[in-house]
Structure 1
Amino acid sequence: MAHREDIQIASHGEILDAWMYPTVDAERSAQSPAIILAQGLGGTKDMRLFEYCERFSAAGFLCVVFDYRYWGKSTGQPRGLVDVEAQLADWNTVIDYVAKLPQVNSEKIGIFGSSFCGGHVIRLAATNPKVKATVSQCPFTDGFASTCAIGFAPLPKLAWLALRDVFWSSQQNPVRVPLLGDPGEAALMSTEECKPGYQRLLPPGMTKLEIDAVPARLILHMPFLYPGAYAKSVPTPIYFAICGRDTVTPPEASLKFVKLAPRGTVEIYKDSNHFDIYVGQLFERAIADYIAFFKTNLAAC
């Protein structure tokens, strides 16, 4: 296991819990390129992201992986709140933090995001000039398409939960919606791959998500989120890992956006569903591709 340090980063009145992985050859390098990572919807940094950090660190990149406010060991109430603008603010805070580290070359900062966060990093790559290269894995690009993937039968119940959360809940006791469900159930992710897929991301010794239901207000925003629309405005190299059998973030919806990125590389992992790419042979293939991309577009530039 690669060496890592526990760090805390102040962000807009909250404290973000993070890990920093120095490069394996840190003693021989005055300044390193850096990669910043965060998880997707309902995920935390201990859900497989340590594996990405260890590989990137061994390849010569300093890594910082963090949990958003309201998640993991980061502070903030209510727990499990998914607030897109707050998450993007946390991202920008961490980018600023990493850029100021003396051991980091501030002109060589890359970012990595998967699933819901795969959409975040597209938007960040388009709007934050400190970002020089990006990997967006199985990205959430089209909120309407992902909402349709839930199915229409649960939508009335989901909408009712969201309205109750907005109008009749408190910060201490929000109305919550399950993250995961079986097909047809009222949950944020309910296709057949979701429950077993998430189970494979859990760290050793954990059998269920620490937070398995989130404030339901997110449902009112989800259909109107289109982070993929930022792809055409990304001025720097960006690698899109599209999963060909993805039922959570439909590949057809993503492709119409990501193909517009001026310096985009689009790779379709045709045998992967939304979660396969995190583990096993598909992970090995993908991480090798990501390292090659970052070495070409970040370390060597």
Structure 2
Amino acid sequence: MAIETTSFESRGERCAATWYLPDAVGERWPCVVLANGFSGTRDWILPDFCRRFAAAGIAALAFDYRHLGESGGAPRQIVDVGEQRADLLAALAHARRDPRIDPRRVALWGTSLGGSHALTVAADDPDLAALILNMPAIDALSGANVEEKRKRAGVSRARTVAITLRLVGAALRDLSRAARRADPLYLGVYGEPGEAFFTDPELAPRFRRVAEGSPTWQNRVAARFLLGAPRYRSGTFERVKAPILICLAEHDLEVSADFIRAKAKGAARVDIRTYPVGHFDLYHGDAFEQVAADQVAFLRAHLGPR
């Protein structure tokens, strides 16, 4: 396997990217383009999947969204759904232009928020060869496990409402700052209730490891994201022409597996796998090994020789 740094342009800004290339010569390679989740940079989670895909003979392209990691864009640490989807489209075009890649055998892979991006892009791309959705966060309201998260945290409904109002207030103040071109108002990716997006105490070790092992990742995102979080548009799954593999976590507190199953029923070709773990567990240990093996098998089946 070879690892190469590369870049492409998205709406006038440079997006930093990395190729993971198979150790093979001859015919053009199939390829999968990976879209990371909320606040994710290409040195977090993605390398483990990319290495598995490249070892299986499938080129993998990971990239940083604008405003994050090593990509351009100011101010920093902005997560904008529409802009990130534009970055994914630019990454897909970059992969298809590469002379080493077979443009007829290109797949998309998206995890969490990136799953929402990948699904939306795939719905408008009839030439896509395959789509993998890893715990896709396709709807921030209807598709979120708000009640289960409240119970896990042991927080009353009244306290939940108060925390929600505090977060929305921060988002509104941040939006006002954006209109005045002032510095963003940031919330933690992980932290205390009312001050961060993820607050489950059991996630603390996970995020400590992220901070230690992913040097370009930052534990902060502009609060305005809350006012532009993704909502599912009815009929999106039905418009996807490519075969779909959906990997769900049975004990996911961030994404409702039931919601995903219900919406995916309309897809023409879909394989849904459920694993007995939580949302972030699919990235680690035995669960990761099983998920990666299933995804490699799926990609081999649908990106095989011409």
Q: Are 1:21 and 1:64, in contact at CA under 8 Å, matched by a contact in 2?
A: yes
Q: Are 1:259 and 1:266, in contact at CA under 8 Å, matched by a contact in 2?
A: no
**66, 91, 109: which one aligns with 1:94:** 91
In structure 2, relative to structure 1, the CA distance for the partners of 1:168 and 1:19 (3 Å cut) is closer
C-alpha separation in 2, matches of 1:24 and 1:136: 26
2:71 equivalent to 1:64: no
C-alpha separation in 2, matches of 1:228 and 1:298: 28
Classify the secondary structure of the residue corresponding to 2:62: strand
2:252 aligns to what? 246
Kindly provide the amino acid, as one letter, of the partner of residue 50 in structure 2: C
Q: Are 1:158 and 1:186, in contact at CA under 8 Å, matched by a contact in 2?
A: yes
2:303 aligns to what? 298
1:232 aligns to what? 238
1:213 aligns to what? 220
2:144 equivalent to 1:146: yes
In structure 2, relative to structure 1, the CA distance for the partners of 1:205 and 1:142 (3 Å cut) is closer
> Considering only aligned residues, what root-mean-square deviation do their CA atoms show, in Å?
2.1
Kindly provide the amino acid, as one letter, of the partner of residue 259 in structure 2: A
C-alpha separation in 2, matches of 1:21 and 1:228: 35
Deviations for 1:98-157, whole angstroms, at most 9, x for unmatched residues?
111111111000111111101111111111233210110011022104283574331111
Classify the secondary structure of the residue corresponding to 1:46: coil
- Give 1:65-214 correspondences, 5 Å limit: 65-144=62-141, 145-146=143-144, 148=146, 149=149, 151-169=160-178, 170-182=180-192, 184-202=193-211, 204=213, 210-214=217-221
Q: Are 1:142 and 1:254, in contact at CA under 8 Å, matched by a contact in 2?
A: no
C-alpha separation in 2, matches of 1:193 and 1:128: 39
C-alpha separation in 2, matches of 1:174 and 1:246: 30
2:266 aligns to what? 260
In structure 2, relative to structure 1, the CA distance for the partners of 1:75 and 1:171 (3 Å cut) is farther
Kindly provide the amino acid, as one letter, of the partner of residue 221 in structure 2: V
TM-score normalised according to structure 1 size: 0.90
TM-score normalised according to structure 2 size: 0.89
C-alpha separation in 2, matches of 1:192 and 1:251: 22
Paired positions, count: 293
Q: Are 1:22 and 1:61, in contact at CA under 8 Å, matched by a contact in 2?
A: yes
Q: CA deviation at 1:193?
A: 4.2
Q: Are 1:247 and 1:274, in contact at CA under 8 Å, matched by a contact in 2?
A: yes
Q: CA deviation at 1:211?
A: 2.1
C-alpha separation in 1, matches of 2:140 and 2:213: 32
Structure 2 unaligned regions, length at least 5 = 151-159
Q: CA deviation at 1:165?
A: 0.9
In structure 2, relative to structure 1, the CA distance for the partners of 1:90 and 1:76 (3 Å cut) is same
Structure 1 unaligned regions, length at least 5 = none
Q: Percent identity?
A: 28
C-alpha separation in 2, matches of 1:10 and 1:79: 17
Structure 1 runs, 4 residues or longer, greater than 6 Å off: none
Deviations for 1:203-248, whole angstroms, at most 9, x for unmatched residues?
6375xx74212111111122x6226852222111010001000101
In structure 2, relative to structure 1, the CA distance for the partners of 1:177 and 1:229 (3 Å cut) is farther
2:27 equivalent to 1:30: yes
Kindly provide the amino acid, as one letter, of the partner of residue 98 in structure 2: L
